Structure 1
């Protein structure tokens, strides 16, 4: 048996043994049958794409961790979408973005959120102070109680992360 068919057999067995349990666990956590079903399927899809199939002993804990991460991702997306929709709710009808533009904006906001989340705390804070409060490097250094040289390094990392996010496609 090839490695690929062995992996598929393991995934099939894992799905057969744990899908019902995972779906029930998610349904209790989310309170919604359809969302639970979607996340359960996405959990197994994530396993399939990763190619890493956990052993029998670690199966449930591994599935639980993936599912938890997917739930957190979903909540973050919903939070971003709610905030965006609230921000445009007051716009007059002619200025309201069309559905396609909204989708593009939401996707961009989610990428920015993920990028900021991947940054170390000090890098993210320096970047946000610079971009949203308009502080200079000396002011940021004072606020963070670090050297200006450190702020320069933080900003370099943050800008690099921005470029990587823009050009990762």
Structure 2
């Protein structure tokens, strides 16, 4: 990409030069044209927030692919959380023979999506520590070892994540 005068012209050039490529690349990754289009759109929306970084990008496709990969990971996490909830709901239904109302299911899924939004806003290390500890069931010591940080730092990351949840859900 040539050096441009403004972030807006850089974004415009990035979009016009590489949007088609990104959609095609994503379509091969996910096997679905509609999802590929959504992720490509979300990629440029995310980049829009960091427009000042666009001027003088040496490898625009690598930059786009990295951003899109992160969005695919976020999408996968949201789907996994939703699937776990729905399977737990099905298991609870099978054991109690009492089905939750559609409104209750929708409210729970909405709460899960809000929770995912909160964690997507966290720094990557805090999100990783939370997932390893609370989702994957790793001890704080194992999380520290896997992440190459101290247990105290793991505790700080977990506290930060829990405080974000507290603020969002007014626990």
TM over 0.5: yes
> How large is the Cα RMSD of the aligned pairs?
3.7
Please, which of 76, 95, 100 is the counterpart of residue 95 of structure 1? Answer: 100
The whole-number CA distance in structure 2 between the counterparts of 1:42 and 1:112 is: 17
Residue 33 (structure 1) shift:
0.3
Cα deviation per residue 1:25-48 (whole Å; 9 max; x = unaligned)?
000111100000011111111111
Give the count of matched residue pairs. 150
Residue 104 (structure 1) shift:
2.9
The whole-number CA distance in structure 2 between the counterparts of 1:122 and 1:56 is: 31
8 A Cα contact 2:7 2:55, kept in partner: no
The whole-number CA distance in structure 2 between the counterparts of 1:37 and 1:56 is: 23
User: Is residue 2:34 matched to residue 1:34?
Assistant: yes
Query: Which of these two proteins has the greater Rg computed from alpha carbons?
Result: 1
Residue 156 (structure 1) shift:
5.7
The whole-number CA distance in structure 2 between the counterparts of 1:30 and 1:121 is: 23
Report matched runs for 1:43-122 at 5 Å: 43-51=43-51, 52-53=53-54, 55=56, 57-90=58-91, 91=93, 92-96=97-101, 98=103, 99-110=105-116, 118-119=125-126
User: Is residue 2:24 matched to residue 1:24?
Assistant: yes
8 A Cα contact 1:80 1:109, kept in partner: no
Question: TM-score, normalised to structure 2's length?
Answer: 0.67
- Partner SS state of residue 49, structure 2: helix
Alpha carbons of 1:25 and 1:120: their partners in 2 closer, same or farther (altered >3 Å)?
closer
The whole-number CA distance in structure 2 between the counterparts of 1:73 and 1:39 is: 10
Cα deviation per residue 1:77-107 (whole Å; 9 max; x = unaligned)?
1111111100001324553462441233322
Structure 1: gaps of 5 or more residues: 145-149
- Partner SS state of residue 88, structure 1: helix
8 A Cα contact 1:18 1:60, kept in partner: yes
Structure 2: gaps of 5 or more residues: 145-149
